[in-house]
Every structure is written in structure tokens, then in C-alpha cells.
């Protein structure tokens, strides 16, 4: 569809959500719910992008993470695969246990070749591991979830990881800390791009008490992370 | 699958998520993400239940709610329809703009006939409208989102609606206020059923600053709702 209303001039129109097996549901759907609501006020398109067009499940791929053999998860339908995804203004990458799978090269390659034409990249939780392994965080300040910080540093040795942060912005890359931090980062992104009133309105509609300070991070303290930005 | 480990004795095993066109993504995926994580520690099954087995989208059905003709939403795959859903211990009902559609009788009937055998019913946001229209909230205390309170009272004239509440528990029915309140209600539910340590652990893993007081509700004040429980 075309989006030519003056209201949208210069604003991002085409959003992409990247999903993969065993993604973390709320990493994706926190930001998505905010953007779903925003799309009532601005012309916006969403592509849900995966390696194939088969449904993608949040279920554990790795049986060692599913000791009680639960059959519990939700499956989301992609709209595009890595080969037919449209040009994007904004790409959102959730994290989840699936980020440690050893067959994600096509996904890293998609991020690597898509990033240069994006207006914004947003990662949530270990979604930053995907961005790091795609090489797009090298030399940049970024954050990730706080439960696996040692691994984060190993995954992205050339990234300037910030240990105490709800989210970090470096250039056009927004990286959020663990899971629900994605909602605060997305609302801050909305404030940056669409204005503070819009972000406030969305938070009120979601009945969400947002954190507006990117340095707020009691979880870094809970996990005893040293204050650092290497 | 069978679930006979002692750890699960007496605990709910079979969970159902009810979805319908234009459900609110976060109403569903806030609670789901918490339960996805919980299912690593307890044997749990999830059925995603809809009227048919076709993908169910969050996209606006009603064009008047989509003035900029955005093409923005996510589609979730049901695992069961209303005729083949298994026996459930817990049913979760999200809300969303779709609750006002005029073709939801099969959904109300499903809730009405499913409720008597449930251990717990959890509704989020206007998911309580569905429960109200299914008749299962009659005479009970319940809450809903705060943005459409006048309509809530009309939809459920025989419900004892509580205007100032993050969530309300009456018997085995847990009703949460708007959208993100579903996360606090679900964590309180986890605390009630699985213990406080489990809820604390999950909130930490989700890096979520939860609200533990069910009477916390600044949104009722923002919308100037009178303090009432009729």
C-alpha cells in the first residue's frame, strides 16, 4: 500500500518483526502491542519475517530447557521470508532461548544485509546477541538482558556493552535490556520519533507505568553486575 | 501427554488461551510469556483456542478504528477450535477491540460451557466483557480496563464492577484491568498457586517491576472514575 498522507511525512512506515524458533513472546509482543496501537494514528505496515513462511513457535527447541516435557507455547505466522521481505524502515529483533541455536546464519545474514538501509534497529533482550553476531553492533554502545551478562560479552566481544541500563541508544540502534525493558525502549522510541504526548497516550491506554529513565536498572544490581561500559 | 510427577500434584496442567479477531496482543502475550517461562518448572500444556483453526490476527476488523489504513498486526495459530478443545484447568481470555463484534455468540457459548469445569478463569482488559456476556461474572466482583468504564457497566449489568483495582479475585475468577495489568494479575496468580518465590523469580527473569498491590490503580484516577463497587 502507499502511504502518502502528510501526517506521515518523514516518519517510518514499514516495520519488520524478525522471529525465529523459541523466540521470547513478550520481547516481541511488548513492542508490537505498542506499535499496533500506534498504527491507528499513523499509516504503518508490518512484515513478520522468518526463515520460512511456516508458523514460528515460542516452544523450547532444546529439550534440556524443557525438563517436564511441557507442551506450552504460541505459534506466530510470518508474512515474509528472508528472500521476499520488503524494504524496511524499522526492524525489531526479539531475543529468547532460540538465539543460541547453531543454525541461525541465514538470520544473521538477513540482519547484516538489511541494517544499512534501515532508519532504526530495535533489539530486545538477547535480540542484541543476534545484532551482535550480525556484526552491526561492533564499536557501538548496547545492552542486553542481565541474566546472561557474561555470555553477552562473549557473543559480542567488539561491542561496548553497557551493564546498567534499561535501554541504550547509539545512533539509530536502540537496544533494550531483558524482556519488559522492550516496552520502555519502544515507548522511548515513540517519544523520540512521534513525540512525548503520543508515548504518554499509549502508556495510558496500555495502563502501563513506564520507566522513562534509560539508566533505571535494578536488575543489574540484583544480578550483581559491575557498573561498566567496556 | 500425562503429567504424573509429584511436583505437579493438584496444580493446574491444562491451560487454554482464547483468541478471536482483533484481540489485544499484549493482553494475551503478557500472561502467556509468564506461563511460557513457568512451563520450564512445571509440566503444563497450552491449547490456543479459536472459532476455527485459521490464523487469528490482531489487525483491526473495524475500518473505523484504522483511519490510516495501516496494514499492521500479528497472526497467531490456534491449536484447537471450540468443538475439539480439551478439558481445561485454566482459561485465559484477553480483550481488545474485537470484543465488540456482533458475531461472538459461539465464543460466549464456549466460555459459558467451559467455565463450570475450570479450576481458574483469568481475564485481561475487556476480556472481562466476554466473561460478562457469557454470564459467568453475574453477581461477582470483577474489573476491566479503565478507558471504557461506562461501556463495561452496560455490558455486564449484573456484575459487581470494581472501578479502582489493578486486578480483582472473586472465587476462582481473576479479572485484570487494562492490558499490562494482565501481567501483574498473572504473577499474583502464580504466587497464589505456585508460591511467592516462583512469582518473584519470573518477574526478575522478565526484568519486570511488578505491582503486587491489587488496589494500585492510578489509571482509574487518570480517567476520573468514581470509587465504586456496585
Asked if the C-beta of B24 comes within 8 angstroms of chain A's C-beta atoms, the answer is yes
Asked if the C-beta of B11 comes within 8 angstroms of chain A's C-beta atoms, the answer is no
- Residues with Cβ within 8 Å of A47's Cβ and at least 6 positions away in sequence, in order, are A14, A15, A16, A17, A79, A80, A85, A86, A88
Is A170 exposed, middle or buried (CB count within 10 Å of its CB: 0-12, 13-18, 19+)? Answer: middle
Helix (H/G/I), strand (E/B), else coil: B148: coil
Is A92 exposed, middle or buried (CB count within 10 Å of its CB: 0-12, 13-18, 19+)? Answer: buried
Helix (H/G/I), strand (E/B), else coil: A57: strand
Task: Return the number of other C-beta atoms located less than 10 Å from residue B69's C-beta.
Answer: 16
pLDDT of A8 above 70 = no
Q: Best mutation site among B21, B72, B208 for testing chain A: the one with the most A CBs within 10 Å?
A: B72
Angstroms from A2 CA to nearest CA on chain B: 10
Contact A19, A82 (CB under 8 A): no
Interval B168-226: pLDDT, tens: 999 999 999 999 999 999 999 999 999 999 999 999 999 999 999 999 999 999 988 98
Give the integer Cα–Cα distance in Å for A112 and A118: 11
pLDDT of residue B59: 97
When pLDDT is cut at 50, 70 and 90, the band that residue B127 belongs to is: very high
Interface of B with A in 99-158 (CB under 8 A): 145-147
Give the integer Cα–Cα distance in Å for B157 and B133: 10
User: What secondary structure does DSSP assign to B197-209, as a single string?
Assistant: HHHHHHHHHTT--
Across the range A23-40, mean pLDDT stands at: 97
Helix (H/G/I), strand (E/B), else coil: A113: helix
CA neighbor of A167 nearest in space, from A102, A201, A216, A207:
A216
Across the range B123-151, mean pLDDT stands at: 96
Interval B111-124: pLDDT, tens: 999 999 999 999 99
**Residues of A with Cβ-Cβ distance to B46 under 8 angstroms:** 71-74
The domain locations on chain B are: 11-222
Angstroms from B219 CA to nearest CA on chain A: 6
Contact A98, B30 (CB under 8 A): no
When pLDDT is cut at 50, 70 and 90, the band that residue A229 belongs to is: low
**Residues of B with Cβ-Cβ distance to A205 under 8 angstroms:** 147, 178-179
Q: Which fold has domain A15-59+73-222?
A: Rossmann fold (3.40.50)
Give the integer Cα–Cα distance in Å for B138 and A99: 46
Give the integer Cα–Cα distance in Å for A136 and A122: 12
Interval B35-62: pLDDT, tens: 999 999 999 999 999 999 999 999 998 8
Give the integer Cα–Cα distance in Å for A190 and A207: 16
pLDDT of residue B15: 98
The helix (run of H) or strand (run of E) holding residue B46 is strand B45-50
Tell me the residue length of chain B.
230
- CB spacing of A72 vs B44 below 8 angstroms: yes
Interval B73-115: pLDDT, tens: 999 999 999 999 999 999 999 999 999 999 999 999 999 999 9
ipTM, 2 dp: 0.94
CA neighbor of B138 nearest in space, from B112, B104, B177, B99:
B112
Tell me the residue length of chain A.
230
CA B30 to chain centre: 10
Is B168 exposed, middle or buried (CB count within 10 Å of its CB: 0-12, 13-18, 19+)? Answer: buried
pLDDT of residue A44: 97
- CB spacing of A40 vs B71 below 8 angstroms: no
| CATH code reported for the domain at B11-222 | 3.40.50.880
- Residues with Cβ within 8 Å of A63's Cβ and at least 6 positions away in sequence, in order, are A69
Across the range A140-162, mean pLDDT stands at: 94
Give the integer Cα–Cα distance in Å for A197 and B35: 33
pLDDT of residue B228: 72
Interval B16-37: pLDDT, tens: 999 999 999 999 999 999 999 9
- Beta-strand ranges (E) seen in chain A are 14-18, 45-50, 56-57, 75-76, 80-81, 90-93, 120-124, 141-142, 160-161, 167-170, 173-176
Give the integer Cα–Cα distance in Å for B216 and B230: 19
Asked if the C-beta of A209 comes within 8 angstroms of chain B's C-beta atoms, the answer is yes
Across the range B2-27, mean pLDDT stands at: 82
Chain A CA closest to residue B13: A70
Give the integer Cα–Cα distance in Å for B207 and B42: 21
- CB spacing of B71 vs A46 below 8 angstroms: yes
When pLDDT is cut at 50, 70 and 90, the band that residue B6 belongs to is: very low
CA neighbor of B193 nearest in space, from B35, B33, B32:
B35
Angstroms from A102 CA to nearest CA on chain B: 21
- Residues above pLDDT 90, as percent of chain B: 88
In angstroms, the Cα distances linking A46 to A121, A220, B72 are 14, 33, 5
- Residues above pLDDT 90, as percent of chain A: 88
Interval A195-209: pLDDT, tens: 999 999 999 999 999
**Residues of A with Cβ-Cβ distance to B29 under 8 angstroms:** 25-26, 28-30, 33, 74
Amino acid at each position: 500500500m502507499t502511504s502518502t498522507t502528510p501526517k506521515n511525512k518523514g516518519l517510518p512506515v514499514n516495520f519488520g518483526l524478525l522471529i525465529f524458533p523459541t523466540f521470547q513472546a513478550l520481547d516481541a509482543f511488548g513492542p508490537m502491542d505498542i506499535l499496533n496501537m500506534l498504527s491507528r494514528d499513523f499509516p504503518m505496515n508490518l512484515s513478520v519475517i522468518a526463515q520460512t513462511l511456516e508458523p514460528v513457535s515460542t516452544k523450547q527447541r532444546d529439550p534440556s530447557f524443557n525438563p517436564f516435557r511441557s507442551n506450552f507455547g504460541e505459534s506466530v505466522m510470518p508474512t515474509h521470508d528472508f528472500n521476499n521481505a520488503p524494504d524496511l524502515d524499522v526492524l525489531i529483533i526479539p531475543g529468547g532461548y532460540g538465539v543460541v541455536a547453531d543454525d541461525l546464519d541465514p538470520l544473521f545474514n538477513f540482519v547484516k544485509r538489511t541494517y544499512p538501509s534501515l532508519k532504526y534497529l530495535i533489539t530486545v533482550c538477547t535480540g542484541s546477541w543476534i545484532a551482535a553476531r550480525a556484526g552491526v553492533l561492533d564499536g557501538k554502545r548496547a545492552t542486553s538482558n542481565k541474566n546472561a551478562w557474561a555470555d553477552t560479552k562473549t557473543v559480542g566481544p567488539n561491542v561496548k556493552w553497557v551493564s546498567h541500563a534499561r535501554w541504550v541508544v547509539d545512533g539509530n540502534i536502540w537496544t533494550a535490556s531483558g524482556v519488559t525493558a522492550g516496552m520502555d525502549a519502544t515507548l522511548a522510541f515513540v517519544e523520540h520519533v512521534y513525540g512525548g504526548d503520543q508515548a504518554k497516550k499509549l502508556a495510558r491506554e496500555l495502563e502501563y507505568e513506564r520507566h522513562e529513565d534509560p539508566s533505571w536498572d535494578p536488575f543489574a544490581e540484583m544480578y550483581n553486575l559491575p557498573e561498566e561500559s567496556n
